[in-house]
């Protein structure tokens, strides 16, 4: 059973608009969440993270929101740029001392010029 779910395999957004990528999780022990971006023929690259003690973390054009009661997080990219076109993975970790990241299947974002 998947503990981290990204229900949208793909998303298309116009350049300059907002991209919203969603992620749901089922394990209540998860307390640290990360987003990774992956271009073809490259490994995933860390993008942004959030601890469960926060509900928002912002880094430039990227903002991650965490709703613990709904077990849901989202990544907002504003404004979207063609270079943001990639596969985005949501990952979660459970507790201090935990090295195991549980990944979602990813969402392919296409930003249309």
Partner 1 sequence: ETGVTQTPRHLVMGMTNKKSLKCEQHLGHNAMYWYKQSAKKPLELMFVYNFKEQTENNSVPSRFSPECPNSSHLFLHLHTLQPEDSALYLCASSPGTSGYEQYFGPGTRLTVT
Which of these ranges, 11-19, 20-28, 54-62, 102-110, lies near partner 1 under the rule CB under 8 A?
A: 102-110
Contact code string over 6-25 relative to partner 1, x by CB under 8 A: --------------------
Query: In angstroms, rounded to a whole number, what is the distance separating the alpha carbons of residues 91 and 35?
Result: 6
Residue 53 as a binder of partner 1 (CB under 8 A): the answer is no
Measured CA distances, 99 to 51, 74, 82, 102, 110 (Å): 15, 22, 33, 10, 31
Residue 57 as a binder of partner 1 (CB under 8 A): the answer is no
Residue 43 as a binder of partner 1 (CB under 8 A): the answer is yes
Query: In angstroms, rounded to a whole number, what is the distance separating the alpha carbons of residues 75 and 73?
Result: 7
Q: Which residues of the shown chain bind partner 1 in the complex (CB under 8 A)? A: 2, 4, 32, 34, 36, 41-46, 49, 51, 89, 93, 96-106
């Amino acid at each position: 059973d998947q503990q981290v779910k990204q229900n949208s395999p793909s998303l298309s957004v116009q350049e300059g608009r907002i991209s919203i990528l969603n992620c749901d999780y089922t394990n209540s022990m998860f307390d640290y969440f990360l987003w990774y971006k992956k271009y073809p023929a490259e490994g995933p690259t860390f993008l942004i993270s959030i601890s469960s003690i926060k509900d928002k973390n912002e880094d430039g054009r990227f903002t991650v929101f965490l709703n613990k009661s709904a077990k849901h997080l989202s990544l907002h990219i504003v404004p979207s740029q063609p270079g943001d076109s990639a596969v985005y993975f949501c990952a979660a970790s459970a507790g201090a001392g935990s090295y195991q990241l549980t990944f979602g299947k990813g969402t392919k974002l296409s930003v249309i010029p």
